[in-house]
Chains A and B, each alone.
Chain A
Amino acid sequence: MPTYAALIYTPDVDWSQADQAAMMAEYGAFGEAATAVIRGGEALYPTATATTVRVQGGKGGDPLITDGPYADTKEALTGFYLLECADLDEAVSWAQQIPGAWQGAVEVRPIIPLG
């Protein structure tokens, strides 16, 4: 069965703060409901904690380390799930139950099966 990454894009948020408890509870409820298909997933610290790494001039070139996320946009990648589903329809039906879908958007991407 294919696995899908459900990438959650929402306004930047610090899940670790106490005021996010209600939201974390909503995610908890989703996690319970979707336990049969969830193969992994994490919540990310806010984009202020991000460090972006580039190497200029090809492999072994000069590393360029910048403070901040890859793309400084209003909505950012704030978390993700890995969902193992029969097909895209099933993946989409789960994705629309992720709270991020109504706080922002959830991008569903198929994962390449390697090995």
Chain B
Amino acid sequence: MSTSPGDALAEVIRAEYPRILATLIRVTGDVNLAEDALQDAVVRALQTWPRDGLPLSPKAWLTTAARRCAIDRIRREAMRTGKEAAAVFVFDSDGPEPPDSVVQDDLLRLVFTCCHPALATDTQVALSLRTLAGLTTTEVSRALLVPEPTMAKRLTRAKQKIAHAGIPYRVPTDSELPDRLPAVAAVVYLIFNEGYASVGAEPIRAGLVGEAIRLGRLLLELMPDEASVRGLLALMLLQDSRRLARVASDGSLTVLAEQDRSRWDRNQIDEGVVLVGSALARSPDRPDPYVVQAAIAACHAIAPRYEDTDWGAVVSWYDVLLTVSDNPVVRLNRAAALAELAGPAVSLAEVDRITGLESYPWWHAARGELLLRLGRLNESAAAADQASALGLTEPHLAHLRRRLAAGGVGSG
């Protein structure tokens, strides 16, 4: 596959960047220096690998080179400022590579540094993509639809804040973990949703979805005992398993009921379902929101046909979800499931009881769907227009519009 050093290097960087960086941050105590030094090493590799051939272990080569580059940078800085470069001797650039367990700990520290509550959420997302997913600044700015200079500035400020404000580079203690883990999961799920539920012109930005799943796998590797982490990865895998069936050839979104289930990714579903099971076994005391949402996704994933879905189970899971995360959007989703269990009239009554979603386009879209099923076409069309006026793009409304145009035929 990867025969040219350029490809091999790109692959090594993607796979090993976060690990090399994480260890380098620990030994230098400086995110900026670590990143610059690793960048120097990458440039050096690009110069020498095509000439000398691929090293036996590209990762070891890069690690050693990055450490030497870090020392060079510290020395240069010391010469510039005339200060003693005491830090130069704190680590041995030619020392053996740290064992895997140490690298894992380094990486875990980096996860919690990137997702520290003293950083703005936008910044946490950008920093996680840059350092944990190993994307370049250009790639991060493209993925998040932010101009590159703005993104570069945001990342630089973040690293300055980490250094100057003394955001610690450590794994939270067991007692702190319940407070800190949700922020980490939220960042990864935000990245996933940025890709999966993008309301921009392109319905799914697969690149970001892939990055989020990679990060989810990384978290599972680092924290295998956390139910929340299992639930998060399961949820992302199960949602993403429908990717191919979710978008029609014309770019419009296909609703769950009409998706061709043979196009769902069975491997992802199998992995997701197993993860949900193991996550449920690990969360006996308090239901975890990600695990419960993954359980709901699993109910859909294992149904051979839409009409085979165990709607009773789906509604029950939503009731569980409401006990830990009661908000209008969860209520709306529960009401949508209730339509399949108890009919559109019962569901519409529930939807109309939810307050606080008047400016949420999906609330109007859901009302439009239920009104259509009840044969109230004019009201349905008005609801669809309202959803559109509130920013829901037409691909999301195509299904409803089509059936409205057909006079409610096939509204099932």
Residues B118 and A110 in contact, CB atoms below 8 Å apart? no
How does the 8 Å CB contact mask read for A1-23 relative to B, with 1 for contact and 0 for none? 01010000000000000000000
Is A89 interfacial (CB 8 A cutoff)? yes
The smallest C-beta distance from B190 to any residue of chain A, in angstroms, reads: 23
Residues of B within 8 A of A53 (CB): none
Is B164 interfacial (CB 8 A cutoff)? yes
Residues of B within 8 A of A85 (CB): 166
Is A87 interfacial (CB 8 A cutoff)? yes
Residues of B within 8 A of A92 (CB): 118
Is A98 interfacial (CB 8 A cutoff)? no
Residues A87 and B168 in contact, CB atoms below 8 Å apart? yes
Residues of A within 8 A of B165 (CB): 88, 108-110
Residues B164 and A89 in contact, CB atoms below 8 Å apart? no
The smallest C-beta distance from B176 to any residue of chain A, in angstroms, reads: 8
Is B167 interfacial (CB 8 A cutoff)? yes
Residues A110 and B164 in contact, CB atoms below 8 Å apart? yes
Is A106 interfacial (CB 8 A cutoff)? no
How does the 8 Å CB contact mask read for A51-80 relative to B, with 1 for contact and 0 for none? 000000000000000000000000000000
Is A91 interfacial (CB 8 A cutoff)? yes
**Distance of A2 Cα from B118 Cα, bound (Å):** 16
Residues of A within 8 A of B168 (CB): 86-89
Residues of A within 8 A of B118 (CB): 88, 92
The smallest C-beta distance from A110 to any residue of chain B, in angstroms, reads: 5
Q: Which residue of chain B has its CB nearest to the CB of A1?
A: B166
How does the 8 Å CB contact mask read for B62-94 relative to A, with 1 for contact and 0 for none? 000000000000000000000000000000000
**Distance of A86 Cα from B169 Cα, bound (Å):** 11
The smallest C-beta distance from B293 to any residue of chain A, in angstroms, reads: 30
Q: Which residue of chain A has its CB nearest to the CB of B116?
A: A88
The smallest C-beta distance from A38 to any residue of chain B, in angstroms, reads: 17
Among A2, A89, A110, max chain B CB count under 10 A is at A89
**Distance of A91 Cα from B165 Cα, bound (Å):** 10
**Distance of A87 Cα from B166 Cα, bound (Å):** 5
Residues of A within 8 A of B167 (CB): 87-89
**Distance of A88 Cα from B164 Cα, bound (Å):** 10
The smallest C-beta distance from A57 to any residue of chain B, in angstroms, reads: 32
**Distance of A88 Cα from B170 Cα, bound (Å):** 12
**Distance of A108 Cα from B164 Cα, bound (Å):** 12
The smallest C-beta distance from B398 to any residue of chain A, in angstroms, reads: 47
**Distance of A4 Cα from B166 Cα, bound (Å):** 10
**Distance of A86 Cα from B116 Cα, bound (Å):** 16
**Distance of A89 Cα from B119 Cα, bound (Å):** 12
**Distance of A87 Cα from B169 Cα, bound (Å):** 9
**Distance of A2 Cα from B161 Cα, bound (Å):** 13
Residues of A within 8 A of B166 (CB): 2, 4, 85-88, 91, 110
**Distance of A86 Cα from B165 Cα, bound (Å):** 11
Q: Which residue of chain B has its CB nearest to the CB of A91?
A: B166
**Distance of A110 Cα from B160 Cα, bound (Å):** 11
**Distance of A88 Cα from B116 Cα, bound (Å):** 10
**Distance of A91 Cα from B166 Cα, bound (Å):** 9
**Distance of A55 Cα from B116 Cα, bound (Å):** 40
**Distance of A88 Cα from B168 Cα, bound (Å):** 7
Residues of B within 8 A of A89 (CB): 167-168
The smallest C-beta distance from B111 to any residue of chain A, in angstroms, reads: 15
How does the 8 Å CB contact mask read for B139-183 relative to A, with 1 for contact and 0 for none? 000000000000000000000000011111000000000000000
Q: Which residues of B contact A (CB under 8 A)?
A: 116, 118, 164-168
The contact sample of 24 A-B pairs, CB cut-off 8 A, is A2-B166, A4-B166, A85-B166, A86-B166, A86-B168, A87-B166, A87-B167, A87-B168, A88-B116, A88-B118, A88-B165, A88-B166, A88-B167, A88-B168, A89-B167, A89-B168, A91-B166, A92-B118, A108-B165, A109-B165, A110-B164, A110-B165, A110-B166, A112-B164
**Considering the complex of A and B, which 4 residue pairs feature the smallest CB-CB distances, nearest first?**
A87-B168, A87-B166, A2-B166, A88-B166
- Not counting A88-B166, A91-B166, a sample of 11 additional A-B residue pairs whose C-beta atoms are within 8 angstroms of each other reads A2-B166, A85-B166, A86-B166, A86-B168, A88-B118, A88-B165, A89-B167, A89-B168, A108-B165, A109-B165, A110-B165
